[in-house]
Structure 1
Amino acid sequence: MTNQPIIPPKKRGLIVGLRASFLTGLVVVLPIGLTLYLIWTVTGWIDGFVLPFIPERFQPSEWFGYWFCPPHSGPATGLSQFWMSDPASPPFFCKENGINLRGTGVIIFLLFTIFMGWIARGLIGRSFLNWAERLVDRTPVVRSIYSGIKQIAETVFAQTDQNFEKACLVEYPKEGIWAIGFISTAAKGEIKARFPEHDEMLSVFLPTTPNPTSGFLLFVPSTDVRMLDMKIEDAAKLIISAGLVYPNGKDKDGVAITQPPASVK
């Protein structure tokens, strides 16, 4: 019998805190980054279509390039002469000199995301994010892009204790035909009040095959639901495989499942 390594409580708390900050940071960083990327891409596409019609001497890049970007040859111009006097001699860390610190960007991204998540979990960070989101909501095009990406990020990365409770079978789309569903919670509020004849109404998510992320929300009396002993993950595998292969090729009792012989026509 092998002894499992025991993680000290302080170290475990640090790992949990870093993980929570990282996931929170992803929820904050990804919507902003993807929104800016999409806007930048669309803007570049429009520029590529419009700017060819403008004479070269009136191109904005010619004016800004003179002041901020050093030329490939000759002395620096504009403001670039204050930070790069010799464009032909790049710093030692440039790729031209053969040094490429692979993985540095990944480390910086992880640290930045954890830091942003730590800030967002605080009172000041939440207040600033709420103010920024209210500002985004007033921008016509940006708010549609940002809100859509944020909903996806929250669905994937947000931490919550609300998960599906059990897998079940419900009669759908008609009596005598059964489909696998997932019980999310008991119906509450007005939904429950509309069915006083039933002791309990269950909220059942009925996924589609082979994409279980889409489906239908059904409110079913608990007496019409047949509970399954299989795990949520096993039921999801069964749905994704369209019923062709059971998880591990076995049923819940560990008995190997064999396919019936094909009918001979």
Structure 2
Amino acid sequence: MASTWKRDFASGLIVLAPLLVTIVVLLWLYNRLKAVPIRIDPDPFFVFGTKIDLSPEPLGVVLTIVVFVLLVFAVGYLMRTAFGAIVESAIDDLMNRLPGLRVVYNASKMAAETALTGTDELQAPVKLEPWNGMRMTAFLTGKTTEDGREVLFLPTAPNITTGFVIEVEPEQYTKTDERVEEALTRILSAGFGESDEQAAQIDVEELAESKSS
């Protein structure tokens, strides 16, 4: 009986916890945007004789988001021009002259480029065998070293924001047909989130490899 209650509680928590976290993040973001000094005083209007007086805070948040989106599009369009390339180069040179801040600037720029403009190859999962008989999941970065080695990112589980950047020969890793979502699910869940279908596929691959060897 106790195990049933624990299972029901865990199932409910799995559903509600992500929703609560999402709500908290949205409220935090809303309060931050509300603090932006953009103030408007909308005039009240009437609907079927009822006076509707809008609060200026939600409209101010919406206006802030609209202004930010327009600014992003404007800067993005500017970056497609020759003048935009000059401006970006000047900003990079300026930030790289500032000790300490240049590390934060370059790291955040690289993270944004990876998340927003990365190709499929950038996130393609591969199998790496650092020692005989043990395989680990890594991801291609699309970068190579001067001597022809592939640069891979080997994340830790369950925190994929940390890991190791490693350089290996192309023949030292194996490409798979696994989707990015499947690889991330296995890593984030510390191996517990792997479906039976995935596990069976891995067993078949290992059996085929053992027969070929």
Which position in structure 2 is the counterpart of 1:206? 154
Which position in structure 1 is the counterpart of 2:139? 182
Question: In structure 2, how many angstroms separate the alpha carbons of the residues matched to 1:137 and 1:203?
Answer: 24
Is residue 187 of structure 2 the alignment partner of residue 239 of structure 1? Answer: yes
Question: Which structure carries more strand by proportion?
Answer: 2
Equivalent residue of 1:190, what SS?
coil
Structure number with bigger Rg: 1
Structure 1 runs of 4+ with >6 Å offset: none
Root mean square deviation, CA, Å: 3.6
Question: In structure 2, how many angstroms separate the alpha carbons of the residues matched to 1:185 and 1:149?
Answer: 18
Which position in structure 2 is the counterpart of 1:73? none
Equivalent residue of 2:193, what SS?
coil
Sequence identity (%):
23
User: What TM-score, normalized by structure 2, do the two folds share?
Assistant: 0.54
Equivalent residue of 1:133, what SS?
helix
Which position in structure 2 is the counterpart of 1:107? 66
Which position in structure 1 is the counterpart of 2:126? 168
Higher mean C-alpha deviation, range 159-168 or range 202-211:
159-168
- Unpaired stretches in structure 1, ≥5 consecutive residues: 1-90, 193-201, 255-265
| Equivalent residues of 2:79, 2:88 under 8 A apart | yes
Which position in structure 2 is the counterpart of 1:251? 198
Higher relative contact order (CA 8 A, sep 6+): 1
Question: In structure 2, how many angstroms separate the alpha carbons of the residues matched to 1:186 and 1:137?
Answer: 22
Q: What is the deviation of 1:148?
A: 3.7
Question: Which structure carries more helix by proportion?
Answer: 2
From the superposition, tell whether residues 139 and 182 of structure 1 become closer, same or farther in structure 2 (CA, over 3 Å): closer
Q: What is the deviation of 1:114?
A: 0.9
Is residue 92 of structure 2 the alignment partner of residue 133 of structure 1? Answer: yes
Q: How many positions carry a matched residue from both structures?
A: 150
- Unpaired stretches in structure 2, ≥5 consecutive residues: 1-38, 44-52, 202-213
| Equivalent residues of 1:204, 1:218 under 8 A apart | yes
